[in-house]
Amino acid sequence: MVSEVQSAAIYGIDGLPIRVEADVSEGMPMFQMVGYLSSEVREARERVSTALRNSGFALPVKRITVNLYPADIRKSGTGFDLPVALAILSATGVIPPDAFWDTFVIGEVNLQGNVCPIPGVLPIVAKAAELQIKRILVPAQNRVEAELLGGIEVIPVESINGAVDYLTGDYEIPPREAQGEAKEASAPDFAEIKGQKLLKRACEIACAGMHNLLMIGPPGAGKSMAAKRLPSILPEMDRKEQMETSKIQSVAGLLTGATALSKRRPFRSPNHTATLQGMAGGGTIPRPGEISLAHNGVLFLDELTEFSPQVLEVLRQPMEDHEITIARANGSYRYPAKFMLVAAMNPCQCGYYPDRNKCRCTRRQLDRFLGKISEPVIDRMDLAVGIKAVAFEELSGESKGESSAAIRRRVEEAQSIQRARYRGEAFRFNSALPAGLIKQYVPLDAAARDYLEEVFFRRNLTARGYHKILKVARTIADLSGKDRIDETCLAEAVCYRGVEKRDWEPEERNRD
Ligand SMILES: [Zn+2]
């Protein structure tokens, strides 16, 4: 007798329906599994037969064949254990076949027959709901995640026996524990950073135009403090972004315990020892990497000069395409990877240049240190801000800095100006303005044009540097509600291009 159970696999960050069929027939006693399976799926055979025995179901002394299809998709992960077990129990008559109508089943089982949680539940539930499936059996520990979406009946099961009881009509779904109002831990706020006006202003401009940002300064100047606070001044994610980001977290196994889809943009700060795979994603059981976990949010690289060039090189393609393609022997898959890149570095090996009271680095040492900066990364930095250690008076002052909420209002306003201006274009933010359209969208007044010409020759700018100044000036003008770019906007934009001539001290440090 052949039985069939519907399940699903993860492909990239989406659920993909997979059917599990089991056939039990006379013949040489054996148990085989087929259907383009990865090793962990093939091992389900051992896990499932032991788990069934320990749940009180002896495998029949017959020929058992389990097939997963469609056959052209490689199946990986451990989520097929439970559907395989239930398909066998259905083929041997323990569970009536109609119990599986309109039902998805996912879950790993251990040798005792308990159902264990799996990653990627959210995208599978989303797919099931999209296919108008009525209900889904999930591991009890994945229940909260499975119920995030609504629109589908979630049946939490703790064991094979629990699943059998439910499917044979002898089971009451335990009421969901009261979750209370979903409350996110409060995010760090810019109000906690005292002084560092220039740094905070650079953060505001970066977020307003979605510009990548490089911070250069001595240890303890507040670079990573500021980076961590960037999500607090970016607009909240809309529903579509929330779904994308949550699916990625689900596939990475990071969504367990979430009681609501988060509106806060992700902030990822991989260590400089991050491997290629940790950064890009992949692996035997494919997982998204840091650049995808930062999707719709901020990817922060602290100690930029310490990252291996190969790891940084992997950023190049996703920064153009906003997704990463991972090619494998058995096909390729894509993870979204649209992030704002923020990096921090010391100005020299010891960290204190240009403070010559502390820094003894020679010219050659300075050059060698700066030579370590990765070109693909530096090329994509619109803003580079040189900062000093906080002065004692600033640190010890009583007054608090401006709150993130206040800064975010200005960022949102500047972004809505851009949305209106670029309606009908393929891009949304000043940072993505193509070179060919800069003249049209960044109109300069006469004084600004003269000023820029002078800067261009005095600082020996490259074409790329020149365009970056104009794009940043556009954002600065948007932040102050100006239509045309005047000299003030340009002058401020120029002071964030210190990196072009490798001079970490901005020319107009005392702007405010
Ligand atoms: Zn030094």
Residue ranges and CATH numbers for the domains of the chain are 2-167 (3.30.230.10), 212-381 (3.40.50.300)
Cα 345 to ligand 1 centre (Å): 12
Cα 369 to ligand 1 centre (Å): 9
Omega prior to 218 cis, within 30 of 0: no
Nearest-10 crossing angle of helices 463-479, 197-209: 90
Cα 32 to ligand 1 centre (Å): 65
Query: Which pLDDT does position 395 carry in this prediction?
Result: 64
- CB–CB of 144/113 below 8 Å? no
Cα 497 to ligand 1 centre (Å): 21
Cα 356 to ligand 1 centre (Å): 8
Cα 505 to ligand 1 centre (Å): 14
> Tokens at residue 505, please?
């001290």
Query: Which pLDDT does position 396 carry in this prediction?
Result: 65
Cα 367 to ligand 1 centre (Å): 11
Across 63-116, the runs of DSSP E, i.e. the strands, are 63-69, 103-105, 108-109, 115-116
Cα 389 to ligand 1 centre (Å): 14
Cα 199 to ligand 1 centre (Å): 21
Cα 359 to ligand 1 centre (Å): 4
Cα 344 to ligand 1 centre (Å): 16
Cα 313 to ligand 1 centre (Å): 27
d(CA 94, CA 167): 10
- Written as tens digits, the pLDDT of the chain (512 aa) is 789 999 999 988 999 999 999 999 998 999 999 988 888 888 889 999 999 999 999 888 899 999 999 988 888 888 999 999 999 999 999 999 999 999 999 999 999 999 999 999 999 999 999 999 999 999 999 999 999 988 899 999 999 999 999 999 877 777 777 655 556 677 799 998 888 899 999 999 999 999 999 999 998 889 999 999 999 999 999 999 999 999 999 999 998 777 788 889 999 999 999 999 999 998 877 899 999 999 999 999 999 999 998 899 899 899 889 999 988 766 788 999 999 999 999 988 898 888 888 888 888 888 888 887 777 788 788 999 988 887 666 666 666 789 999 999 999 999 999 999 999 999 999 999 999 999 999 999 899 999 999 988 888 788 888 899 999 999 999 999 999 999 999 999 998 876 544 544 433 333 33
Query: Which pLDDT does position 397 carry in this prediction?
Result: 65
Cα 190 to ligand 1 centre (Å): 29
Identity (one letter) of the amino acid at 72?
D
**For 139-175, what is the HEC assignment?**
EHHHHHHHCCCCCCEEEEECEHHHHHHHHCCCCCCCC
Cα 512 to ligand 1 centre (Å): 28
Provide the H-helix boundaries in 275-433: 276-280, 290-293, 309-313, 316-321, 363-371, 375-379, 392-396, 404-421
d(CA 306, CA 386): 19
What protein residues have CB closer than 5 angstroms to ion ligand 1? 348, 350, 353, 359, 361
Across 70-216, the runs of DSSP E, i.e. the strands, are 103-105, 108-109, 115-116, 135-139, 153-157, 213-216
Cα 372 to ligand 1 centre (Å): 15
Across 317-360, the runs of DSSP E, i.e. the strands, are 323-328, 331-336, 340-345
d(CA 459, CA 453): 10
- CB–CB of 372/347 below 8 Å? no
Nearest-10 crossing angle of helices 121-130, 239-251: 130
Cα 157 to ligand 1 centre (Å): 60
Cα 169 to ligand 1 centre (Å): 73
